[in-house]
Structure 1
């Protein structure tokens, strides 16, 4: 089993987490060693039950980090390369692997190769790195003028991306999240991942894929995993609408993906409204986490979600600020109201670790109504049953044949019968 299948990631957006400036520092300004603040959160991460630190952008950029201008230099708002290497070393000392966020679909307009093209046009040494657009402009990422798309048909771009990825793998990172992987041609990914894996066969390469044929990014692009946005949407949407048929359908689709690869699962990240704000009924927060922790996949917890942070993403300038807030220097300074949800994370992540086979487990739905869902995961003498009640009143349901014992949750397991309070849940495990 690859090490990634034991991973539970704690996902951090460093520029927001550390309260960095919105804009790049002036050229003469000294670096600010903000990455060192993350070291004070490593014990918190481990106590939560995680063993991976998935960092958002840390490389020199113009504003939010996804407008990279130098993939070989740590953003001075966060510190220096030594600050990043020290964090990797401190994490490793606690058994925590570090994942970096690579933006290789597009670059900021200040990226030196593009700056040269902007000055010299077709005569530039780097003219073939970018795709011309009508009116003398160049193609951008989804209409964002400050994000210039790379030309992935240019072999030198593949050489450059490979060099960046191997450079930081040599320095101790465990793998890469590949931003906007869905916008990059699969043959490009196949070329790059093949070269990277030849040198670092243990690296985990995960792509951000929002829609489309998820499995093709693994079978044709050579990635290890992709983001499971379809399941993310079904979790909150089915709970809000009290239509658990949507979730059951998504679980069926999830099973099909597990035949090919292990998806990257989540209920929150730096790009979406926080789950505590997305759900209409706060009682469903527990349901969402139960699902995440009892299905196949490699899960991530977005920093702050474990404390039930709230925040709504808005489509405007600064619209991500609410979901990317600054954190206190010390975890002890967090507000206490999120503590019960943090403890639930500890309990459910701990349950998952005691049942490590869940990472590849297929689910079978055995009871389904608009508001009650029972599914099993695993097979043989290794199995769990999960019962969810999204209704305002109590509910009961049957469990499949087997000797079940109550493992977690406010519901009761009575033989093959599970009794659930309003908006309640229960996890049962096969008795041995």
Structure 2
């Protein structure tokens, strides 16, 4: 297995997590050395069972980090290059890999090459880095302050490859590619092929919300993409008491696993937190059971392990509630919703003991108006052999039953029971169960 198949990411949005200023520091202001604080959270990450730290934007930017002004400079609100490299080194000492967030579809208007174009027009050597549109330049989804790069220009590919290699040389493990869906796939192929020549172990995951997920891997050269379809199906099916929606999403998910393991999640820095999204708090366990059993490479958004609340709103500052500041040390979290953190630990532990789940496909057995049961088996084992995991979810407010194949099941988590002889699963209201077996008889 490649190292990425064993990755479980803890996802942090540093500008929010570390309580940084909302806008870039004035010129001449000394850097704020905030990044070292994250090193004090590595033990928390490891205690969850994670082994990867996925960072949001850390490069110089105007405001929220996705308006980059210098890809080679750490945002002074967070610290210096030395602070970041020290964090990467301290993470590596604990066996934790660090993923950086690369914003390569667009830049902030203060980006040096763009400012040169503003001053010098067609005489600028960077004139072809951007695409004129009307009396301005092409932007990202209508946001004037986010100027789109011209991905048809080979010099832009040179720049992106140089940025990636600069930070990979300093020990990072890979890149999350922001707004990957807005960038032509041949551009990604050009860049990733070039970077892999020097860093063959680098991992690239693209933010893809809609479209042909598989094409970003086969044509774009990425290793994975964000599985937004499954994310939506998880909370939507639970809120609507509609297991059929989730079962349908599993079919699409299985098809993706034929080619690559998607990056799975139930929360991130761009969406309403899962604890706020779900109408019924008891459904949180169902969402987590799905996240940590289905194929893919899971991530936990910092704060979700304590069921933090936060609603994203479509307005200026609408992301603030899902990107809050954290205390300086994990001990300051106290015991609030510690039970949710322990549930994460239980399910991540089960995942660790069954690492083959990363590429395992989901087979549905019971599907009705309130109950969904499914199993996964080790894809490297033959029929009737190899480890197996069974999951049963009761979406409804009344006790219910379902079934999985008969096997010597051992309950690993949840409040339901599986009869090993018959495969019958008994579930209380809003109940759930995850069980394991050495194999399912053929």
**What TM-score do you get using the length of structure 2 for normalisation?**
0.96
How far apart in 1 are the matches of 2:41 and 2:411? 33
Deviation at 1:266, TM superposition (A): 0.3
Partner of 2:418: 413
Note if contact 1:39-1:91 (Cα within 8 Å) is conserved in structure 2: yes
Note if contact 2:388-2:438 (Cα within 8 Å) is conserved in structure 1: no
- Cα deviation code 1:119-175 (max 9, x no counterpart): 1112211110000001x2000000001000000000000000000000000000000
How far apart in 2 are the matches of 1:7 and 1:64? 27
Partner of 1:291: 290
Note if contact 2:292-2:348 (Cα within 8 Å) is conserved in structure 1: yes
Q: How does 1:330-349 map to 2 (within 5 A)?
A: 330-349=329-348
Deviation at 1:48, TM superposition (A): 0.6
Partner of 2:127: 127
- Cα deviation code 1:347-402 (max 9, x no counterpart): 00000000010001000000001210000011533111100001111111122133
Deviates most, 45-54 or 331-340: 331-340
How far apart in 2 are the matches of 1:259 and 1:414? 32
Number of corresponding residues: 431
SS in 2 for 1:366: strand
How far apart in 1 are the matches of 2:411 and 2:116? 65
Note if contact 1:194-1:222 (Cα within 8 Å) is conserved in structure 2: yes
How far apart in 2 are the matches of 1:146 and 1:320? 17
Note if contact 1:6-1:356 (Cα within 8 Å) is conserved in structure 2: yes
Note if contact 1:70-1:111 (Cα within 8 Å) is conserved in structure 2: yes
How far apart in 2 are the matches of 1:393 and 1:407? 23
Partner of 2:381: none
SS in 1 for 2:23: coil
Deviation at 1:417, TM superposition (A): 1.4
Q: How does 1:364-375 map to 2 (within 5 A)?
A: 364-375=363-374
Q: How does 1:195-214 map to 2 (within 5 A)?
A: 195-214=194-213
Aligned counterpart for 2:402 among listed residues 386, 397, 406: 397
Note if contact 2:393-2:433 (Cα within 8 Å) is conserved in structure 1: yes
Deviation at 1:97, TM superposition (A): 0.2
SS in 2 for 1:215: helix
**What TM-score do you get using the length of structure 1 for normalisation?**
0.99
How far apart in 1 are the matches of 2:43 and 2:438? 34
- Cα deviation code 1:231-272 (max 9, x no counterpart): 000000000000010000000100000001110000000000
Partner of 2:382: none
How far apart in 1 are the matches of 2:409 and 2:174? 39
SS in 1 for 2:374: strand
Partner of 2:161: 162
Note if contact 2:387-2:438 (Cα within 8 Å) is conserved in structure 1: no
Note if contact 1:405-1:431 (Cα within 8 Å) is conserved in structure 2: no
How far apart in 2 are the matches of 1:316 and 1:399? 46
Q: How does 1:200-239 map to 2 (within 5 A)?
A: 200-239=199-238
How far apart in 2 are the matches of 1:371 and 1:237? 14
SS in 1 for 2:410: strand
Partner of 1:423: 430
Q: CA RMSD in A?
A: 0.8
- Cα deviation code 1:330-362 (max 9, x no counterpart): 111114222000000000000000001000100
Partner of 1:385: 390
Unaligned runs of 5+ in 1: none
Partner of 2:104: 104
How far apart in 1 are the matches of 2:268 and 2:435? 29
How far apart in 2 are the matches of 1:283 and 1:386? 16
